[in-house]
Structure 1
Amino acid sequence: MRTNFPLLPVLGAVSLAFAANAFAQEQVFKIGHTGPMSGPNAFAGKDNENGVRLAIEELNTKKITVAGKTLKFELQSEDDQCDPKAGVSVAQKLVDEGVKIVMGPYCSGVAIPASRIYSEGGAILSTVGSNPKVTMGGYKNLFRIIAGDDLIGGAMANYAAKNLKAKTVAVIDDRTAFGQGLAEEFIKEADKLGMKVLGREYTTDKATDFNAILTNLKGKKPDVIFFGGYTPQAAPMTRQMKQLGMSQKLLGGDAICTGEMGKLGGDAVTDTVYCAQGGAILDKVADGPAFKAKYKKRFNQDPDAYAASFYDQVMFIVQAMQKTGSLDAQKIGDELYKGSYKGIASTYAYDEKGNLKKAPITFYSFKGGAPVPLSTN
């Protein structure tokens, strides 16, 4: 009597061959991230990385297919230390390893020199570096996914004049590309509005003692003080203002609109710090609360300034891949320039320089150590 048992190994071989063929159709596609993963701004770098990671993990569950191949997205994250030299080194490493999509940098001082490396290497760069010079180098496939300093600095000057009724201001900046650029844009708009700048002081992004600067400004009695710089300096600066008996509000840009500001500044920041950040209020946009809940479930913390923006841009890039049916960076970049994407934090559409065409800006103050949105323009 003849049996069918000999067929079993054949069927097993067919199954294995089918599985191997399916695996062969899956292609690893790396998405790079560059930001400060160490040092005082590591909280921001990690938050941005988390936004990218969350997008990648969701995309992998959807089995995205481009050009007949199922993509397996992988994150390659590098520490640029918020340092221009390190940032250029990281850029060269990512380009040399063939990474064509890079998210970051966080710091303008890194984005400005590194953008040339990415452009020459044929990579798409999506950054929150807000200094206007970031998008003035003429490099293609460079996208700023938030408002620039010209918008943020100007908006904060308008808020100071109209909402805080400030007539005089003192300005401090940390001499970084971000801090200096932001301060200059604030001053430009303040001048137009008739606010008088009573004094200008300078520090560094490594400083922790601001007593001499603040004592000098205290004697000038400005209505408000504007700081162009990052949270690790703004928080102790606010505490030292309180210790000196200064009642002025401390104003700044997106780099001090962070949960870390409350952690480092404590009670001193409440009703004292006012800041402007690119993007909408997550609690007030359709998918914002769901994103916050999803982020917290995955990372056991709330999203900070730009996690949602990085998440959105990854989704926009993958949409462009699917529309073009290509993994070629130039074709994807061309689609980003002409297309648009309604994300969580913003609607993403770019001009020829890579700036957002419509960039919402939200104003914040602090309550109980946390940034609280006031309004969006």
Structure 2
Amino acid sequence: MIVKFGLLTAATLSTLTAYHQAQAQDLIVRIGHVSPLSGPSAHMGKDTEEGARMAIEELNTKGLSIGGKKAKFELLSEDDASDPKQATTVAQKLVDAKVNGVIGHMNSGTTIPASKIYQTAGIPQISPSATNPKYTLQGFNTAFRVVANDGQLGGTLGRFAVQINHAKKVAVIDDRSAYGQGVADEFVKGVIGKSGPDAIVTRQYTTDKATDFNAILTIIKSKNPDVIFFGGMDAVGGPMLRQMKQLGIEAKFFGGDGICSSDLPNLASDAIGEGKVVCAEAGGVEEAKKGDLIKFKAAFAKRFGHEVVLNAPYAYDSVMTMVDAMQKAGSSEPAKYLPLLSKIQHKGVTGMIAFDNRGDILDGTLTLYTYKGGKRELLTITK
């Protein structure tokens, strides 16, 4: 029997080549990411982006499959500059790019308007940091967050100021952003709930781009408060601390996760003081469960050459949680994996991630910090 090896081989090779080409066509999964990559909060936005990027790189290294196809993950990152209008523009850009999901936005003031665009398109959105309760109170089934909201964070800080710091007189400043105003409102509720309305001696306002606070700080100084609460970001909080020192204001300085960054000592310089600042991070891992987070931070520093600023672990967990839902659904199509995302139980580096029926994280933790020796120091972890 004579076999025409040449012809058989050519035909077989042609068939095999076509087969392997089909197999080689990876499932492309595009994950959108949005944060402020320009403007005063760019250092925090870049931190969030790097957390998401680290997850994408790890997923590609693992060679995961979704629905029997090898998945190749791409990060499409956009800059919203902390501006609500720009946020909606880049949100539509990601929708038009047919992303499979979105990680972001960083700020509440950008997350909330963008969320309507993602909801209309049916694209799941996980914010790693937006804390304003309005985000999930809109009733969008596509909106999730992996951190506690302002009701928990601001209220806890308000109660802490009265119960632990024994504050009798409290001044409040916010930057009029959705985040700053929201967390300040909840802080006020926490104070009033423990001490009554007379404890709030003045409420002042600034902007998220202001640099001169002498007028409002002079008013506050005349009230001689024990605590000044600032609802805003570290890029404003740092200079505010410096001007407080120049005016001889000795009050403790409280704030939410917006100021609770590793960059605050650089922004405030020697005005950071020793135990003068008390801030809360919307999230945190109890001591017994810190191993994974410590490993993540070490890997992050090795990959990017600097320490985590604030939100990188939550952005990383957001990506991993979304992809976990895709794997469980056997599909990266938003409509197919969204039901699995709402029921997910994902063990992340920041703890167990599961959502309630609004999209808020279940059993979310808060971490309170102060600063000593120019470094952030843990005070307590609470729920």
Q: Give the TM-score range, shorter chain.
A: over 0.9
Aligned to 1:263: 266
State whether structure 2 residue 234 is matched by structure 1 residue 231: yes
Distance 1:5 1:97, change over 3 A: closer
CA shift, 1:62, in A, is: 1.3
| Structure-to-structure mapping, 1:124-135, within 5 angstroms | 124-127=124-127, 128-135=129-136
Can you list the C-alpha shifts for 1:273-330, whole angstroms capped at 9, x where unaligned? 1100012148761211110110011100111211111111211111111111122213
Contact 1:280–1:376, Cα closer than 8 Å, also in 2 = yes
Partner letter of residue 78 of structure 1?
A: E
Aligned to 1:375: 380
Aligned to 2:76: 76
CA distance in 1, matches of 2:234, 2:152: 20
CA distance in 2, matches of 1:237, 1:75: 36
State whether structure 2 residue 343 is matched by structure 1 residue 338: yes
Contact 1:281–1:373, Cα closer than 8 Å, also in 2 = no
Aligned to 1:275: 279
CA distance in 2, matches of 1:117, 1:199: 38
Aligned to 1:23: 24
Aligned to 1:214: 217
Can you list the C-alpha shifts for 1:111-146, whole angstroms capped at 9, x where unaligned? 111110000011111112111111111111100111
State whether structure 2 residue 297 is matched by structure 1 residue 292: yes
CA shift, 1:17, in A, is: 4.2
Contact 2:32–2:76, Cα closer than 8 Å, also in 1 = yes
Aligned to 2:33: 33
Aligned to 2:371: 366
Aligned to 2:319: 314
In the comparison of the two structures, how many residue pairs are matched? 375
Segments of 4+ in structure 1 off by > 3 A? 2-19, 281-284
Q: TM-score scaled to structure 2, two decimals?
A: 0.93
State whether structure 2 residue 172 is matched by structure 1 residue 171: yes
CA distance in 2, matches of 1:223, 1:51: 37
Contact 1:102–1:125, Cα closer than 8 Å, also in 2 = yes
Partner letter of residue 234 of structure 2?
A: T
Single out whichever of 201-210 and 284-293 deviates more from structure 2. 284-293
CA distance in 2, matches of 1:272, 1:135: 33
CA distance in 2, matches of 1:14, 1:331: 33
CA shift, 1:5, in A, is: 8.6
Contact 2:55–2:316, Cα closer than 8 Å, also in 1 = yes
Contact 1:346–1:359, Cα closer than 8 Å, also in 2 = no
CA distance in 1, matches of 2:312, 2:148: 15
Contact 1:267–1:368, Cα closer than 8 Å, also in 2 = no
CA distance in 2, matches of 1:12, 1:292: 48
CA shift, 1:15, in A, is: 6.4
Tell me the C-alpha RMSD between the 2 structures. Answer: 2.0
Can you list the C-alpha shifts for 1:218-251, whole angstroms capped at 9, x where unaligned? 1111110000111111000001111111111110
Partner letter of residue 130 of structure 1?
A: T
| Structure-to-structure mapping, 1:6-155, within 5 angstroms | 16-17=17-18, 19-24=20-25, 26-127=26-127, 128-155=129-156
Partner letter of residue 330 of structure 2?
A: G
Aligned to 1:182: 183
Partner letter of residue 48 of structure 1?
A: T
Single out whichever of 72-81 and 325-334 deviates more from structure 2. 325-334
CA distance in 1, matches of 2:14, 2:110: 53
Q: TM-score scaled to structure 1, two decimals?
A: 0.94
Aligned to 1:161: 162
CA shift, 1:10, in A, is: 7.2
CA distance in 1, matches of 2:75, 2:33: 7
CA distance in 1, matches of 2:179, 2:120: 24
Partner letter of residue 141 of structure 2?
A: K
Partner letter of residue 365 of structure 1?
A: T
CA distance in 2, matches of 1:309, 1:282: 15
Which one of 331, 335, 339 corresponds to residue 326 of structure 1? 331
Distance 1:62 1:170, change over 3 A: same
Partner letter of residue 361 of structure 1?
A: L
